[in-house]
Amino acid sequence: MDITPPEPDDIHEGTDEGLPASDVKTTAMDFSLGFFYTRKQWYAGLSVTHILEPEMKEKEGETRITYLTRGYYLMGGYNIQLDNPLLELRPSVFVKSSILMTQIDVSARLFFAKMLYGGLGWRYGDAGIVMLGAHIKSFQAGYAYDFPISAIRKGTTGSHEVFLKYSVDLDLNKKTKNQYKSVRIL
């Protein structure tokens, strides 16, 4: 992948230490761990990335050491049934934290018939978000547009995200319609 930094101006520098000047290859052992719990009305999740905080030594002319800092993610939301039985409001909060920064996202989606939704979000000091999507049985599909409100808006008009998700129900105690007690009858 070729990356061309922008010309130096009030916002951009001509060089960036985060972009290697040549092809560099390195490996490092790392782990991440996360938990997600959901109930009928609410959900919560917690995860940690770069648990080992690996250091990667790059040897290309000179030795440079890059550290991957540990990141913490916390999320939660609640489903609020409105007076109209077809409408449900789902506010949520997402917090991402590392030694470098903490970022907070707050959003709310309005679901129609538990299938279609539209929503708005706000990333503190960074961006506004518009969301659209559909949830049909085990499939979900959606679109989001982030429009910047910080100083980066001088260099971009925003970003687009499209996603597709499939969920599997892992309730092993759930009785199914065609469940048999004999192993000879499949």
| Cα 17 off chain centre by | 26
What dihedral do alpha carbons 24, 27, 28, 30 form, nearest 10°? 110
Is residue 65 classed exposed, middle or buried when 0-12, 13-18 and 19+ CB atoms within 10 A define those classes? exposed
Strand 42-49 vs strand 55-60: parallel, antiparallel, or unpaired? unpaired
* pLDDT at residue 133, rounded to an integer: 98
Residues 6+ apart with CB under 8 A from 103: 95, 96, 97, 123, 124, 126
Consecutive 10-residue averages of pLDDT for the chain (186 residues):
61 62 75 94 96 78 73 97 96 95 96 96 95 95 95 88 90 65 56
* DSSP strands (E only) in the chain: 33-38, 42-49, 55-60, 62-67, 71-78, 80-81, 87-98, 102-112, 116-123, 127-136, 139-148, 159-166
How many other CB atoms sit within 10 Å of the CB of residue 178? 6
Task: Single out the residue of 12, 65, 11 nearest to residue 3, CA to CA.
Answer: 12
* pLDDT at residue 143, rounded to an integer: 98
